Amino acid sequence: MKLAKQAQTIAAGNLAKDRIKDSINTLVEMKDREISQAIQALQSVKDAYETNKAEINAKVISMPLGYNQTVNWSKVEKMIENSLNWDKVVELIQNVIPIQNIDKIKNVNNQTTLNQYKSLVVFVMSKLNYSQKNKVRYISYWEAQGSVAMPTTGDIQKYQIGLNGWRGIILFFILIKV
């Protein structure tokens, strides 16, 4: 890259300057190739999940229900969660985002691209079980790494307790003491 920029300063003709400019653009694209591939793979997983979710919800909503029949929403949520083969997703991640690419991804200067990568990683990690997370934990390099699968940001978002939940917990402890 430095050599190309130095050549640009000493280039004499317009043709040479244009070729050097093209070479610099190619080098910039190659520099961010790893994160672009990672984002593309993770985005395809998210898109497939969202498509499956929309299709399942559409089928459930269009189902005719008889008198006194209700939808078992926990089963619907389970169907949505299992609509992708998450073991295959883990294999895809391991193939497209090998461990050696993480250092290159860490050093990307474009913060928007990096934030997009991180949000997609958080999404995917929130859908995996602990054994699957352990296999691809390296892609969430900004979180603490360890031998035991710690909850990820997606897990914490999934199980947040609302205000009514805390009221219920407090009421439970008050009733126990009485």
Alpha helices in 63-162 (DSSP H): 73-81, 86-96, 99-106, 111-127, 130-136, 153-158
Residue type, 47: D
Domain around 121: 32-177
Domain annotation covers residue 75: yes
Query: What's the pTM value of the predicted model, to 2 decimals?
Result: 0.67
1 found inside a domain: no
Which has more pLDDT, 156 or 108?
108
Whether residue 12 lies inside any domain: the answer is no
Residue 22 inside a domain? The answer is: no
> Looking at residue 158, what is its pLDDT?
54
User: 27 in a domain, yes or no?
Assistant: no
Answer whether residue 48 is part of any domain: yes
Domain membership flag for residue 70: yes
For residue range 14-38, list pLDDT tens digits in order: 666 667 667 667 766 666 788 889 9
Per-residue pLDDT reduced to its tens digit, 124-176: 999 999 999 999 999 998 886 654 455 555 555 555 566 667 677 777 677 77
Of 52-61, 77-86, 155-164, where does mean pLDDT reach its minimum? 155-164
Cα–Cα distance for residue pair 35/109, rounded to 1 Å: 11
- CA gyration radius, the chain: 24
C-alpha distances out from residue 123 to 2, 13, 43, 156, Å:
37, 50, 10, 12
Whether residue 10 lies inside any domain: the answer is no
Say how many domains are in the chain: 1
Q: Tell me the C-alpha distance between 106 and 15, whole Å.
A: 36
User: Rounded to the nearest 10 degrees, how much is the dihedral formed by the CA atoms of 112, 118, 122, 124?
Assistant: 100
